[in-house]
């Protein structure tokens, strides 16, 4: 049966969009592969009234609530590809029948690619972090490292300095320019040149940043700006316009979260420069509203 909308990605943005469409009594299918971006962290912070809950717990509760709406269908799996035009989209999922819908809502999130340093990946979301607003408070001050990965890393280090005594490890990136050096000095950020060769367990709850030159430093946490990529190629294959941001490419959308392709909406981290649970959820609400309004007013038959 043709759906009013298919949502690709049942994370914070996708499920928020689903509430809007479900409550408008629209037929909505949510396809989700169950890998929200924050799955590496045991707890989420900073979302209204949800502080300290795990991301998975929040999403599971939302799914339970959504499942009570009779027009909502969940499909577990990965949307491989999609084709079609407004009012007649088809989404393929490995090993399952294609699903048809009048609108598509892309909410598949971003993939974080981390620098290839032994000991880094297994600490991601625990003591290797990207957002001080999400996890900086729990560090409790003390020595903190920032690993340079892009030209904005000096800025990141100067922000993280509000949460502890920060050292910026340049790790082969070009030395900060004079303006960045002045900022680091003003924010009392230390600078360590040289390649980072490994991250190891230090004394107590500390971890050790080992440099190739033989020096090492103990820190409570290490902040990294990961290389972020839109998950999957569905937006690209449809020719959705992209936008370059300091965080990488995102899908360009208008105020109603419509992409450049008629009938396709995008929400959450894939469609905004700075992402967190609250912003992704708000984005999903807007995309849900946009898709619903378009079903009522833009289509040939409503």
Ligand X SMILES: Cc1cc2nc3c(=O)[nH]c(=O)nc-3n(C[C@H](O)[C@H](O)[C@H](O)COP(=O)(O)OP(=O)(O)OC[C@H]3O[C@@H](n4cnc5c(N)ncnc54)[C@H](O)[C@@H]3O)c2cc1C
* C-beta of 103 vs 191, nearer to ligand X: 103
Q: Which residue has the closest beta carbon to ligand X?
A: 11
Residue 176 CB contacts under 8 Å (≥ 6 apart), including other chains: 154, 168, 170, 184, 191
Task: Tell me how far, at minimum, the Cβ of 130 lies from ligand X, in Å.
Answer: 6
* C-beta of 4 vs 269, nearer to ligand X: 269
* C-beta of 22 vs 41, nearer to ligand X: 41
Task: Tell me how far, at minimum, the Cβ of 297 lies from ligand X, in Å.
Answer: 26
* C-beta of 4 vs 112, nearer to ligand X: 112
Task: Tell me how far, at minimum, the Cβ of 214 lies from ligand X, in Å.
Answer: 31
What are 169's two structure tokens? 């490890």
Task: Tell me how far, at minimum, the Cβ of 117 lies from ligand X, in Å.
Answer: 17
Q: Give the Cα separation of 164 and 138 in Å (integer).
A: 11
Q: Give the Cα separation of 13 and 284 in Å (integer).
A: 4
* C-beta of 26 vs 135, nearer to ligand X: 135
Task: Tell me how far, at minimum, the Cβ of 65 lies from ligand X, in Å.
Answer: 16
Binding footprint of ligand X on the chain (CB under 6 A)? 8-14, 31-38, 40-41, 44-47, 78-79, 107-109, 112, 125, 130, 134, 231-232, 268-269, 275-278, 280
Task: Tell me how far, at minimum, the Cβ of 293 lies from ligand X, in Å.
Answer: 21
Q: Give the Cα separation of 4 and 26 in Å (integer).
A: 6
* C-beta of 176 vs 268, nearer to ligand X: 268
Phi, psi for 99 (deg, rounded to 5): -115, 140
Task: Tell me how far, at minimum, the Cβ of 17 lies from ligand X, in Å.
Answer: 9
* C-beta of 31 vs 209, nearer to ligand X: 31
* C-beta of 64 vs 214, nearer to ligand X: 64
Question: Could you give the angle at which helices 178-186 and 153-160 cross, rounded to 10 degrees?
Answer: 10
Task: Tell me how far, at minimum, the Cβ of 110 lies from ligand X, in Å.
Answer: 7
């Amino acid at each position: 049966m043709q759906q009013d909308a298919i949502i690709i990605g049942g994370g914070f943005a996708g499920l928020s969009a689903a509430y809007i469409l479900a409550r408008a009594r629209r037929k909505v299918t949510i396809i989700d592969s169950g890998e929200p971006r924050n799955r590496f962290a045991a707890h989420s912070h900073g979302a209204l009234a949800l502080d300290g809950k795990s991301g998975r717990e929040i999403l599971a509760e939302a799914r339970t609530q959504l499942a009570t709406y009779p027009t909502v269908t969940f499909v577990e799996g990965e949307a491989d590809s999609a084709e079609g035009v407004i009012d007649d989209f088809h989404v393929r999922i490995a090993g399952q029948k294609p699903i048809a819908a009048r609108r598509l809502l892309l909410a598949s999130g971003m993939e974080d690619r981390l620098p290839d340093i032994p000991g880094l990946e297994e600490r991601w979301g625990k003591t290797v972090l990207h957002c001080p607003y999400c996890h900086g408070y729990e560090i409790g001050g003390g020595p903190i490292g920032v690993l340079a990965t892009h030209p904005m890393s000096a800025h990141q280090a100067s922000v993280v300095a509000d949460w502890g005594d920060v050292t910026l490890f340049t790790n082969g990136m070009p030395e900060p320019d004079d303006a960045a050096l002045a900022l680091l000095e003003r924010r009392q950020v230390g600078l360590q040149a040289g390649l980072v060769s490994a991250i190891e367990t230090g004394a107590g709850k500390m971890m050790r940043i080992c440099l190739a030159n033989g020096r090492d430093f103990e820190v409570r946490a290490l902040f990294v700006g990961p290389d972020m990529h839109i998950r999957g190629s569905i937006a690209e294959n449809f020719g959705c316009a992209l936008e370059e941001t300091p965080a990488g490419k995102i899908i360009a959308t208008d105020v109603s979260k419509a992409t450049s392709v008629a009938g396709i909406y995008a929400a959450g981290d894939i469609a905004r420069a700075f992402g967190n649970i609250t912003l992704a959820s708000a984005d999903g609400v807007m995309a849900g509203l946009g898709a619903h309004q378009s079903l009522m007013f833009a289509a040939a038959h409503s």
